Amino acid sequence: MEPSERMEPVPPAEHVTRCAYDVRSLEIDARGRVAVVSLLGMLQDAAGESAMALGFSVERLLRDGISWVLARFRLEMTRWPAWRDRVTVATWPSGADTARAYREFRVLDGAGNEIGRADSLWMVIDLATRRPTKIPDFVRILRAAPDTAGAVPPGLEALARPAHEDEARQFDVRWSELDLNDHVNNVCYVDWALETVPAEVRARAFPSRIAIDYRAEARFGDTVRATRAAAGPGAFAHRLTRAADGRELSLVETTWTDAPGRRRPRAVARRDDLDRRALALVVAAAAPVVGAAAPPGGRTLWRPRGRTHRRPALP
């Protein structure tokens, strides 16, 4: 059963949180669409705002030495927003049992049309033991949603492990990829998986479906191995493991749909905005001193644009 067939009825209005985002230039990909990790970041942010509004935020759980972790996530998109588009994310808790909580999302364009939706399964971990624990009693709002009685809703069943691999890449976990739980943020796993997708696919298509199961956490200093295997027309199965011991970290499935022609970004409002931009950036890296302990330094030098120079054409 597809998510679009089962994500009803609409929840009570007081349980729904709506967050609006304007797609900025630093959040787009080479085709001018919002980058996958940027959109996932919006959904993650909206989930955090919802939890805050309803009284069970990460900050509240951290006081008791526990925290939310994302266990499964299913996203379907009919269209990806572009640079300067307004994106609204609506989200609400949709069910719970003693160990798992469920959350749904809708992604809307600037006109309020639905362009995507997602289901997710969340768990609570004890930060001392790094093991799952029961959902705390003070998370009362979840009890207003249907009790799932331990049954995972359709569409959130566990993903199958790919039987082979066609491509593999490795990534070192950086400090900037850690979150409040002191482990890799969930969007990074998707980013690593997407890096194994052939460049020609990413250049002409967009992911219309992303499914991910999180099995274990990666932490600073780990090296993660990401693989890709063909899983049908326009579809790939990915597996991420810890290189040191082979521990399975996550499974990802992606389905790709050919994108329409590239859309021109909206024109810059003021002519002077372009004229004030810098003409050139010169990076002068200082040569390393023999025997010095510190790495070489550097500086940046900016030259203002003169009006006699031609302005670059907009992409």
What is the Cα gyration radius of the chain? Answer: 22
What does the DSSP 8-state code read for residue 112? S
Q: pLDDT band at residue 301, thresholds of 50, 70 and 90?
A: low
Question: What is the DSSP code (8-state) at residue 41?
Answer: H
Whether the per-residue pLDDT at 285 is higher than 90: the answer is no
Q: Write the single-letter amino acid at 89.
A: V
Note the pLDDT of residue 127. Answer: 94
The kind and range of the H/E element at 191 are helix 186-194
Q: Could you tell me the maximum CA-CA distance found in the chain, to the nearest angstrom? A: 71
- Mean pLDDT of the 202-222 span: 96
Give the lowest-confidence range in 91-95, 179-183, 189-193, 261-265.
Answer: 261-265
pLDDT of residue 184: 96
Mean pLDDT for 183-208 is 96
Two tokens at 151?
């049954």
> What tens digit of pLDDT does each residue of 31-76 get?
999 999 999 999 999 999 999 999 899 999 999 999 999 999 999 9
Question: How is residue 145 written in tokens?
Answer: 């949603």
- Return the pLDDT at 307: 44
Q: Of all residues in the chain, what percent carry a pLDDT higher than 70?
A: 76
For position 173, what pLDDT does the model report? 98
80-89, 164-173, 222-231, 252-261: range with lowest mean pLDDT:
252-261
| 275 has a pLDDT exceeding 50 | no
CB 205, CB 173: distance < 8 Å: no
Choose between 298 and 265: higher pLDDT.
298
Give the confidence band of 144 by pLDDT, cuts at 50, 70, 90: low
- Is-contact 117 76, C-beta < 8 A? yes
DSSP state of 178: B
In whole angstroms, give the CA distance from residue 226 to residue 224. Answer: 6
For residue range 64-108, what is the model confidence (pLDDT) as tens digits? 999 999 999 999 999 999 999 999 999 999 888 888 999 999 999
Task: Supply the mean pLDDT for the chain.
Answer: 84
User: What is the structure's pLDDT at 288?
Assistant: 47
Q: Is 313 exposed, middle or buried (0-12, 13-18, 19+ CB in 10 A)?
A: exposed
Question: CA dihedral in degrees (107, 68, 186, 103; nearest 10)?
Answer: -20
What is the average pLDDT across 170-184?
95
Q: What is the pTM of this model?
A: 0.79
Which pLDDT belongs to residue 210?
98
Predicted confidence at residue 85, as pLDDT, reads: 98
Q: What percent of the chain has pLDDT over 90?
A: 67
Across 115-139, average pLDDT: 93
Contact of 28 with 36, CB cutoff 8 Å: no
pLDDT at site 274 = 37
Q: What pLDDT sits at residue 280? A: 36
Please check the confidence at residue 269 and state whether its pLDDT lies above 70: no
Confidence of residue 260 (pLDDT cuts 50, 70, 90): confident
Mean pLDDT of 267-279: 40
Q: What is the dihedral of CA 235, 250, 208, 102, to 10 degrees?
A: 140
Q: Tokens 């990534």 identify what position?
A: 171
Average pLDDT estimate for 175-191: 95
| pLDDT of 13 | 83
User: Where do the domains of the chain lie, and which CATH numbers do they carry?
Assistant: 3-258 (3.10.129.10), 272-304 (no CATH)
For residues 197-225, average pLDDT:
96
User: 179 or 308: which carries more pLDDT confidence?
Assistant: 179
